[in-house]
Amino acid sequence: MQRVLGMRLRLLQRPVRQTAQTTTSSSASFATKAQEFADIVYGQDTGVRTVQFNRPEKLNALTLPMAQHLTARLHKIEVNNTVNAVVFSGNGGKAFCAGGDIRMLADNGKDPATRHVALDFFRNEYRLNYLLATTEKPIISFLNGVTMGGGVGLSMHGKFVVATEKTVFAMPETAIGFFPDVGASYLLPRLGRRLIEGEDYAADVPKSRALKGQGLGTYLALTGERLKGKEVIGLGLATHYMETSEYETLVHHLTGLEFEESVSQEERDEIVHEALEELETDEAFQEIDPEYLETIESVFGAHNEKDTVEGIYERLEKLNTEWSKETLETLKKMSPLSLKVTLEQMRQGAVKTCAECFQMEYRLAARMMENPDFFEGVRSVVIDKDRSPKWAKRDITKVTAKEVAEFFMPLDKDSELILYPMMSPEAFGRTHKRHVTDVIRVALDQKGVIGFIDVYDDMTLLEARSLIWENVENAPAEFQFVLDDGAPVSARQEGTQKIVYFYPMVHIRELRRGTPSPMPSPRRTSTSSVVNATMNLSSSPSSSDKVCVSTASGEEFHLRSH
């Protein structure tokens, strides 16, 4: 149900899911000893799980281990029928999550030898965002502080978003030579259409109508404009508004909810929605001036005859108001390349599915890691903090359409981002060369000492998968890996030297050093590709160490240690 302008947006319509029918088993029979993960604090009460991002000294910036850890936890929560709601928040009083660890991305992305670390982060982050967009569980993001970049990805894809008086929302990536990612190409182009025409969040509309109402999202994407809590709820980015002091009351209120087994997920969502409404601040809603929205649409909208960044500059100059002058000044500080890539991203995202948007963004992220503007932007804003970036092309007219188009071209087949909805069977039954490559490379880097997980023959697939997630969670964070979101591998510095690949929809496969073990018969599984690998590892790997991997189709490829 929605209210337009004077009436706030309520329940968001979700992207279409493909879900598998499952039954829930108690986790007590295969739970392992819990190991604290300092960067995320988990809590639980009757029917409720809480997730608190816990890097307050870094404004709760997201790291690769955090993304992997939360992904594992979400898979467990999804199959637990006793969980009615999940609440996300940030620790420290200043931030929900201020973004990704861009210093790490710049340090690793600059060197081709370590660039895969940055790409691993983007893959895991975008997969986590997509899981949040497709989970059936009601996730409530309590924006108790700065919510930017990666924090937007953690919050805006869930079913409920609670803005507060401490909320500061922004996608400021063009200022560092990057682009608004984490699904912004899906969220932002639809924002104005929802406000202007009252259409659903994921409404399937003709391309001609999809181009309408893009001005607001494009404005936020290009300028990095910051929004406060009441503006966030007024523009429909949040579903509810509360004071931060209501957090404990909110969690307690949710623990009192009761659901009958026959209640559908849609009905459960509505019950949670009504519970949130009861705690809302009545005076919270701030109506957005329709004239202001119309002005933004006239300048940044996609229906303009000259739909280019140069065209936006011209319209701002012609408008000649205080707002237009300030906006133009802001745009001219941004990376010209980022502005043009972002504008094209918004236009393409308006007619793509949620999954297609993430896949497009991964291509853009990979290309940005090869472009000097990102590293210069991070230097200027994060490292030296002089706020005087020297962009590769300072003149917006020098950035050609051909140069922009190259950012959107497909990657190599084995480098594309693979996405599956939460609980989709496909998420657990396919093997990709790139993922095997990543896992084996880490095995070699760690001198062949690999951890393992024992799976008992009488376990169901659901129980086995839950056991895998438990062990991945408790592995040292720097050695966690999730193979295609469904085949976790945890590498440890000590223990038995063997690898386990887990395919919940195929079968379980162990590999010992030097000699592959016999292939077990599939249990309660469907057929899919199977990977056999023979590892030739010395106690101290050298450049000659290699792994020969063959797929079920007979394809072979060799990997060398780095």
Residues catalogued as catalytic: 100, 150, 173, 181
- What span, in angstroms and rounded, lies between the C-alpha atoms of 218 and 342? 8
Which segments of 190-292 are extended strands (E)? 227-228, 240-241
- What span, in angstroms and rounded, lies between the C-alpha atoms of 464 and 522? 13
CA distances from 271 to 8, 76, 397 (A): 18, 23, 53
Q: Which two tokens stand for residue 87?
A: 């609440």
Q: How many CB atoms lie within 10 A of CB 494?
A: 7
State the DSSP H helix or E strand holding residue 95, giving kind and residue range, or none if neither.
strand 95-97
Query: CB-based contacts of 412: which residues, under 8 Å, 6+ apart?
Result: none
What is the gyration radius of the CA atoms in the chain, in angstroms? 24
Q: Which of 28, 29, 56, 27 is nearest to 41 (CA)?
A: 56
Q: Which of 9, 7, 155 is nearest to 89 (CA)?
A: 155
- Three-state DSSP state, 181: coil
What does residue 424 show for φ and ψ, rounded to 5 degrees?
-70, 135
Q: Which of 468, 475, 467 is nearest to 451 (CA)?
A: 475
Query: CB-based contacts of 532: which residues, under 8 Å, 6+ apart?
Result: 509, 516, 519, 549, 550
- Per the CB < 8 A criterion, the answer to whether 404 and 335 are in contact is no
- What span, in angstroms and rounded, lies between the C-alpha atoms of 24 and 83? 11
Residue appearing with tokens 């040292």: 476
Q: Which of 125, 75, 20 is nearest to 469 (CA)?
A: 75
Sheet of strand 556-560: strand arrangement: 531-536, 546-551, 556-560
